[in-house]
Structure 1
Amino acid sequence: MRSLVSVCAALLAVVLWATNATVAAEALRSVTALQLLTLQYGAAAVTLAFVGVCGTFGSRETVREARSQGTNSPGWRGLAVGMVGLTGTILLQKVSFAFAPVFDANAISYGWPLLIALWGAWSRGIARGWPQLLLSALGMTGVVMLLGVGAEAPSLGSLIGYVCAAGSAACMAFYTVAAGRLRLRTMQVLFPAAIAGTAIAWIGSEVSGATWPPVSEWLGSIYLGIGPMAAGYLLWTVASARGRPSVIAAIGYLTPFASTALLIAAGAPVTALTAVGAILILACNIGVLLLGRGESHREPGTAPKPSTPELLRDAGH
């Protein structure tokens, strides 16, 4: 049951993240990247605060635990993980959308499961981690094919966008691994990061001097904060802390495929390279899933997972 809950949480997060690029591309037609980030982070902060208040008042056990542990601060490590995972990932991704073609930047930024597989292979050593290395290489080849490399030489702005997209992927890979290791309380880590992101983006927007559009054109940006950012990160943190990293990372491989499919449905061009790249990414997803299941049967003596009530309690903090 615990494994099923973690997998379902990861899948729901992927569904929300898959809409990110399509909605962002539409929103950027009426707002600047910094304005979009201000609204997105602000909406995420309000949503996280609401979830935190509901979780606190809905659990007497949580209140007693918080009182017994004082401030129950996540510490500087937890705050740093939240800043890198939420602020860094989203900020770099939206900047990449502003500089590079959204279709290309989206494929690169959602290539972070490949980095997790590479990290797992490195930690195991070449002798034991070669299957992950092979799958990572194939998955990276799929991402490159999604980019449609060879159509034309990228401009300087596109190169900046690609670098930012790669940085976004690195931030998300770091957050996924660190969230599972530190067993972070979601609210205490993500809420400060959302507040910081709101402040940074708003200051940048005001310095740029861009005129704000009518409120009616904010809806897409606000959705990105409530859905892909707040709800997506809450679900993914729960999945990362309660599920096996190899299985959760494998589910993450579905994100670039689903996101690419939505972009294509919205009018992005389809090529033979795109189709082959998507197939390679899905094949890597299946391969890592199978490896993760095999490891779970070979590794006895693992610590027991928290119960479902504890999982739901942590999701509110």
Structure 2
Amino acid sequence: MATIYGLLAIVMWGALALLGVNTKGIPAFQLLFLCFFISGLLMFVRRFLTGQPLFQKPAMSLPQWLFGTGALFGFHFCYFLALKHAPAIEVSLICYLWPMLLAILLAGKSTRLRALAGGVLGFLGIGFIILGDADIAFNGEYVSGYLLAGACALIWSGYSWYLSKSSGEPDDIGWLSLAVAFLSLLAHFLLEDPAQSGGRWQFGGEQWLGIILLGLGPVGGAFYLWDLGLKKGNQKLLASLSFCSPLISSVLLALAGYNAWSLNILIALTLILLGALIANKKPANKRINTEENKLPSVEAGRTG
């Protein structure tokens, strides 16, 4: 069941572009504050529904606070800055190195090469989706943006690996969300022009719908599901299928009429699934060794 939670998080991230259509006029950090604030509220809603104390003290250690808040805020901070210093296509492509990095971090010595091969195929798959028919041309003047995008990949793969090795409660995400919301609010006032949003916090009905859906889904609820998936589910499978997020995004946008259907979608799906199959296939020698280890006990039973 935990693996299904992780897969739902991937699906939610795939819906990010579609759900964000109605929030384009909202400054990035202002939107981030609203979404993470909603994410934090989910914790209190769950506690209320289950009859738990609403303001029970968080059980996280100081390193968990620092690492979790730094990763969740740092990823989005670097991503938004990267988009200001480099084209979105290159930024998105570099950011999506994180599933491959995560697969390598999760792999053992005997499966690391297989994880790398599967990750490369998955990365090629999302390349077909992100690039489409556009040409990619890395330019020296965008180096700072590329580095920030690379930082995004390192931060999210490192954070996801940390989740897979750590223990904790789902409510930890709620407290971290509130911390990120506070930092996002500071970033909004310090880094964004109030005139960009008219200096107001009043939004139209469609904008509020987009904000709420983002907070419940890809920029909020998905982090709870990803936490559960990596701590208790099939971590390697989730790392491989994380490449599906941009694929899901393209399919949803095409269904909604924002994008045209393309052969690239089918090519990407084939490469991603093939990469996942390679990365998660159990070594043949392990199966052989298991069978060999059973033989002595069988023979002993016969002679006994």
| TM-score (norm: length of structure 1) | 0.72
Q: Report which stretch shifted further, 158-167 or 282-291.
A: 158-167
Instruction: Name 1:314's counterpart in structure 2.
Output: none
Matched residues in 1 for 2:10 and 2:119: separation? 19
Instruction: Name 2:170's counterpart in structure 1.
Output: 186
> Which of 123, 126, 130 is the matching residue for 1:140?
123
Fraction of identical pairs, as percent: 19
Gaps spanning 5+ residues in structure 1: where?
Answer: 300-317
Matched residues in 2 for 1:80 and 1:225: separation? 22
1:159 to 1:24, Cα distance in 2 relative to 1, 3 A = farther
Matched residues in 2 for 1:144 and 1:218: separation? 33
Residues 1:259 and 2:258 are matched in the alignment: no
Gaps spanning 5+ residues in structure 2: where?
Answer: 291-304
Instruction: Name 1:231's counterpart in structure 2.
Output: 221
Aligned-partner residue type, residue 185 of structure 2: W
Matching of residues 1-317 of structure 1 within 5 Å: 5-28=1-24, 30-55=25-50, 57=52, 73-96=59-82, 105-121=91-107, 124-125=108-109, 128-148=111-131, 151=135, 153=137, 160-188=144-172, 190-207=173-190, 208-211=192-195, 212=197, 214-216=202-204, 217-265=207-255, 266-268=257-259, 275-291=266-282
**Paired residues of 1:43 and 1:222 also in contact (CA < 8 A):** yes
Deviation by residue 1:39-82 (Cα, 9 ceiling, x = unmatched): 22222222233224444629xxxx9xx8xxxx562212221332
Matched residues in 2 for 1:48 and 1:105: separation? 32
**Paired residues of 1:35 and 1:205 also in contact (CA < 8 A):** yes
CA RMSD across the alignment = 3.7
Matched residues in 1 for 2:142 and 2:252: separation? 22
1:13 to 1:157, Cα distance in 2 relative to 1, 3 A = farther
Matched residues in 1 for 2:142 and 2:254: separation? 20
Matched residues in 1 for 2:45 and 2:165: separation? 26
1:99 to 1:19, Cα distance in 2 relative to 1, 3 A = farther
Q: Report the alpha carbon displacement of residue 115 of structure 1 after superposing the two structures with TM.
A: 0.9
Matched residues in 1 for 2:287 and 2:148: separation? 35
Could you say which structure has the larger radius of gyration?
2
How many residues of Structure 1 are paired with residues of Structure 2 in the alignment? 281
Matched residues in 2 for 1:21 and 1:84: separation? 24
Matched residues in 1 for 2:168 and 2:286: separation? 24
